[in-house]
Amino acid sequence: MSRILLAPMEGLADNLLRGVLTAIGGYDWGICEFVRVSGNVLPVKTYERICPELLNGSRTAAGTPMRVQLLGSDPYLMAENARRLVTLNPAGVDLNFGCPAPTVNRHRGGAALLGEPELLNRIVSAVRAVVPVDVPFTAKMRLGIDDTSLAVDCAQALAAGGIDELIVHGRTKLDGYRPPARWEWIDRVRAAIDIPLIANGEVWTVEDFRNCQLATGCADIMLGRGAIADPLLARRVRGEETGGWAEVAPGVAAYWLGVRRKVVPDHAGGRIKQWLALLRRNYPEAEVLYQTLRPIKTAHEIDAALIAAGIPGALPLAA
């Protein structure tokens, strides 16, 4: 049976959205947004803020295991932060070598390290030395910075460092999120390493999922933006009966209630609009709701609009 995993998505899939998506179901495990490691060993509260699931046995409320991802370039600091992280009993430890964001890359983080296979190996080896063998240890990478010339070298360096599994996003840093994903290169990487490989990138539909498996040779697939655009996708892949928008809409309400409690009102609206902008790829009802909310500025007006739209579970909150 193929595993279906939820990708880490900085600025998009926070703990609130992870909670909604995993409650709808279909995921074996996921990875939280990255924890940035720079000049010190981070306090416990930083890990718990970014991955509140740590306070619930490293699982979402629905019971889906959530691994914690570290991002940084200093082997010693990455290892010391991993040492602290494992005291919190995470469902797993993942290392980020895939983030294409310029602000991250300027500080030698994420995909910016894909030109230095030797450094990747040193980081992984250092972290491996402090992560117990019974804690899943993975890394996520892209195919390179500007091209794919070092993709295999990077993957082999990571595997040699001691990770249990490798996740490969089938694009370079320069590609950003532009289609298509280079699935054929994921297959080349898979054939060059002796640890399991998980494919990621440009899987929006059940057909995409199957085509990605065929093109990459990978049974296991990590869903990113496709999971957010269709919260039922993982279950569709599994052949389960799904209820369409009627099943998604309560999740929209639950997410909004969470956002209202977590985010200051002036910024809350942008969060739900961001999700609806992706949902409308698959749900006409989400398009209607997006257009309704688009000009609305205040959180209270969004409360009222969701109630007027008949979104199950939508409730007004006090200021």
User: Beta strand 66-71 with 93-97: parallel, antiparallel or unpaired?
Assistant: parallel
CA gap 206, 198 in Å, rounded? 17
- How far apart, in whole angstroms, are the C-alpha atoms of residue 300 and residue 302? 5
For 231-268, give the DSSP string.
Answer: TTHHHHHTT----THHHHHHHHHHHHHHHHHHS-HHHH
Task: Give yes or no: 99 in active site.
Answer: yes
Vertex 264: Cα angle to 278 and 32 (nearest 5) = 50
C-alpha 98/C-alpha 140 separation (Å) is 6
Which member of 32, 51, 99, 218 is catalytic? 99
Half-sphere exposure of 77 (CA within 13 A, CB side): 14
Rounded to the nearest 10 degrees, how much is the dihedral formed by the CA atoms of 118, 163, 94, 200? 90
Q: How many residues does the chain have?
A: 319
CB 148 within 8 A of CB 155: no
- What is the widest separation between alpha-carbon atoms in the chain? 57
**In one letter, which amino acid is 182?**
R
* Contact yes or no for 195/162 (Cβ under 8 A): no
CB 189 within 8 A of CB 155: yes
Rg (CA), the chain: 19
Residue 311, CA distances (Å) to 18, 38, 105, 173, 232 in order: 20, 43, 40, 38, 17
* Catalytic machinery residues: 99
